[in-house]
Amino acid sequence: MSGKYGFGGGIELPKTTPNPKPRPQVDGSSLSEAVKAGNDLGFVSREPSARLKPGPKRKEPQDKVSIPGPKRVVDDFRAFCSSRDLTLWQGLERLLLEQKGRGG
């Protein structure tokens, strides 16, 4: 077998130039005109933006609770909250406050 891996002599690659041509300086005004034209056409920046969590600003530390239970009880609790236009945590808080008011 002759050559590397049996494929003959291979190929001859062109020599690289030692000093590539310097890039021309970009005019700042033409660059800003191009950006403005892109914005006018509806192009948007791909730069990452600061992502905020959806919903209202959290005013106190948050936690989660998951309570499995009978569907009828969970559905009743959801209906309780929905009929009073409460979130689930607000409904739980209301029930707890009512319980404290009863001396519980």
Number of domains in the chain: 1
Q: How far apart are CA 89 and CA 64, in angstroms?
A: 10
> Is the confidence at residue 51, as pLDDT, over 80?
no
Assigned domain for 88 exists: yes
Q: How far apart are CA 104 and CA 19, in angstroms?
A: 84
What pLDDT score was predicted for residue 27? 79
Assigned domain for 38 exists: no
Q: How far apart are CA 17 and CA 77, in angstroms?
A: 75
What average pLDDT does range 8-25 have in this prediction?
Answer: 76
Q: Which domain holds residue 93?
A: 68-103
Assigned domain for 47 exists: no
What pLDDT score was predicted for residue 102? 83
Assigned domain for 73 exists: yes
Q: Are 88 and 78 in contact (CB under 8 A)?
A: yes
pTM value is 0.45
Task: Categorize the per-residue pLDDT at 47 as very low, low, confident or very high, splitting at 50, 70 and 90.
Answer: confident
What pLDDT score was predicted for residue 50? 72
Assigned domain for 75 exists: yes
Q: Are 44 and 35 in contact (CB under 8 A)?
A: no
Assigned domain for 37 exists: no
